[in-house]
Amino acid sequence: MGAHELAERAERVEHALREGPASRPPDLPTVLKALDTHCSALCDAIVLALPQAPAADPAGSRGPVDWGAARAVLDRMEALLADDDAQAIELFQLEAATLSGALGAHHALVARAMDGYDLEAALTALRAARRDVAALSSPLPQ
């Protein structure tokens, strides 16, 4: 999953910080951002690898998922994200009830990316959801 690489990167940063200002690389902020990105990617991979536990508020308690509506919202959101349009965040918030049940375990990943205004990560997570949740990838037969 990349945990060894993350540990090595973190160890290099820790060593540089321990040695004091004179030994810190001039690009330390860039190195820290790369470490943060790698850590987030690893956490996302772990979340997706874990077996899905029942949600505290299962979709059944909100009623059945309207897959047609969910696909329509995700089509619009995907287009906005592909255009790097922050209106995708507002759409995600407005359609929270529809998307929560439809995205399943992917909902937390999309939400975290949206909350951090990381539209590229949100697009990646949304596309992963569409790949992994069969009802989101194509219309259901009538």
Q: Tell me which residue of 130, 128, 103 sits closest to 44, measured CA to CA.
A: 128
Q: Do residues 2 and 45 make contact, with C-beta atoms less than 8 angstroms apart?
A: yes
Both structure tokens of 53: 């536990």
Instruction: Give pLDDT, residue 136.
Output: 87
Instruction: Give pLDDT, residue 76.
Output: 96
Distance CA 60, CA 76 (A): 25
Per the prediction, the chain carries an average pLDDT of 81
Instruction: Give pLDDT, residue 74.
Output: 95
Q: What is the mean pLDDT of residues 78-91?
A: 95
Percent of the chain with pLDDT over 70: 82
Distance CA 1, CA 19 (A): 30
Confidence of residue 60 (pLDDT cuts 50, 70, 90): very low
Instruction: Give residue limits of the domains in the chain.
Output: 3-49, 66-137
Confidence of residue 53 (pLDDT cuts 50, 70, 90): very low
